[in-house]
């Protein structure tokens, strides 16, 4: 049995945004990416120094190289090779463009890449390309996904859930199966960057989607996880309790599980800023001056996010807060307070009679 990771000591996932350059104009882009690279990105030497520091979290630390489009960096293969040599588990989230050629995928695999994740936000070219802002993106993404499988790389598919995409989720899931992916990561929109102009789904619709995802997971040939929707775990516990009254399911809500921004998750921006998440852009330091390990373990922001007893509103009162905790990124994006309630969650905790997200108290304050 795998030893649980102490998320106070190390993140399960550390993302390094190696660049914000990208040819696509995706409607949900957190980074508000542009085609050209910025001159103040971490250099190759600085990137290698970062990977050396990250290695101190422990053997096999998972590192995701993201963007923008990481393929815009000419030293990408060198960085993957370097991280692999340092004992890190190097993975990649490239954009679906013509730069992601079969040869490029093969070179990354040879350098030690452990997994590649591509994004599908529509089940057909018209809907995906409209969301991604680039004609031909669907075909390039599908081709790259097949190239990854041919190169022996485990494939992950990422999908954004918002009002524009939610009705296509069943058809997208069929595409995920057809492509032979090992994991489907379903990301519930956080209104940051260009994503502020998109319409989120309602809390009630989110509950329906999570119920459907649990049903689909029981039969799918791939794993399913949610991103920025930790109440997926609460829904699972409630389903098990409802189905058979399993006391173990009831006890599970008291155990710590999963990850949220700053708790099992860390993000380093293209200029070295250390964030709890790319969707929670409040810096706790910068790798050019600060030790990423020390910042993660001891900074005030990260330690607060790991203390579920500091949560406020109905998230703070929720009996599932240890196993869920709500999206800290969405709370920050909508209220400016990373410890506030997650407005996407429709669950009202037992014995909670306080204000719900978006409601006002009697004194007129939010």
Rounded CA-CA distance 349/358 in Å is: 16
Residues 330, 313 contacting (CB under 8 angstroms): no
pTM: 0.90
Copy the structure tokens of residue 161: 């859930």
* Cβ-based burial of 208 (10 A; exposed 0-12, middle 13-18, buried ≥19): middle
pLDDT at 99: 87
Q: What is the DSSP string of 143-211?
A: HHHHHHHHTT--EEEEEEESTTTGGGHHHHHHHHHHTT-SEEEEEEP---GGGGGSPPPPHHHHHHHHH
Domains of the chain from N-terminus onward? 13-227+258-292 (3.20.20.70)
Is the CA virtual torsion 240, 246, 250, 252 positive or negative? negative
pLDDT at 355: 74
Q: What is the DSSP string of 62-123?
A: EEEEESS-GGG-TTHHHHHHHHHHTT-EEEE---SSTTS-HHHHHHHHHTT--EEEEE---S
Q: How many C-beta atoms lie closer than 10 Å to residue 242's C-beta?
A: 10
Residues 141, 119 contacting (CB under 8 angstroms): yes
Copy the structure tokens of residue 40: 């103040």
pLDDT mean by block of 10 residues, the chain; 366 residues: 80 96 61 69 98 97 94 96 98 89 97 97 94 88 96 97 96 98 97 68 96 96 96 94 66 67 97 97 97 98 96 94 95 95 92 66 37
End-to-end CA distance of the chain: 46
Rounded CA-CA distance 340/354 in Å is: 13
Three-state SS at 142 = helix
Q: Phi then psi for 276, rounded to 5 degrees?
A: -65, -30
Q: From residue 260, give the alpha-carbon distance in Å to each of 221, 329, 333.
A: 26, 8, 14
pLDDT at 364: 35
| Residue 257: cis peptide before it, omega within 30 degrees of 0 | no
Residues 31, 292 contacting (CB under 8 angstroms): no
């Amino acid at each position: 049995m795998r030893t649980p990771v102490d998320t106070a000591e190390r993140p399960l996932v550390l993302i390094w945004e190696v660049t914000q350059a990208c040819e696509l104009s995706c409607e949900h882009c957190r980074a508000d990416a542009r085609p050209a690279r910025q001159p103040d990105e971490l250099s190759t030497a600085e990137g290698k120094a970062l990977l050396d520091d990250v290695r101190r979290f422990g053997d096999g630390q998972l590192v995701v190289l993201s963007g923008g489009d990481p393929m815009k960096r000419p030293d990408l293969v060198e960085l993957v090779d370097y991280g692999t040599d340092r004992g890190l588990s190097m993975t990649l989230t490239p954009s679906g463009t013509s730069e992601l050629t079969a040869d490029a995928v093969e070179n990354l695999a040879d350098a030690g890449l452990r997994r590649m994740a591509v994004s599908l936000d529509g089940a057909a070219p018209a809907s995906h390309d409209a969301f991604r802002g680039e004609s031909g993106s669907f075909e390039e993404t599908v081709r790259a996904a097949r190239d990854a499988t041919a190169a022996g790389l485990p494939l992950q598919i990422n999908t954004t859930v918002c009002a524009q995409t939610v009705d296509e989720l069943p058809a997208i899931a069929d595409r995920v199966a057809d492509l032979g992916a090992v994991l489907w990561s379903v990301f519930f929109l956080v209104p940051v960057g260009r994503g502020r102009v998109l319409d989120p789904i309602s809390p009630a619709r989110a509950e329906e989607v999570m119920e459907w995802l649990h049903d689909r997971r029981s039969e799918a040939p791939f794993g399913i996880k949610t991103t920025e929707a930790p109440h997926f775990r609460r829904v699972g516990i409630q389903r098990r309790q409802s189905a058979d009254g399993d006391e173990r399911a009831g006890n599970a809500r008291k155990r710590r599980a999963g990850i949220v921004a700053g708790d099992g998750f860390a993000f380093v921006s293209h200029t070295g800023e250390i964030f709890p998440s790319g969707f929670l852009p409040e810096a706790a330091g910068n790798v050019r001056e600060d030790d990423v390990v020390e910042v993660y373990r001891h900074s005030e922001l990260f330690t607060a996010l790991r203390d579920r007893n500091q949560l406020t509103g109905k998230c703070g009162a929720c009996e599932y807060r240890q196993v869920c905790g709500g999206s800290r990124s969405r709370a920050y994006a909508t209220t400016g307070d990373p410890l506030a309630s997650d407005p996407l969650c429709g669950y009202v905790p037992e014995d909670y009679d306080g204000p719900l997200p978006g409601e006002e108290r009697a004194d007129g304050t939010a």
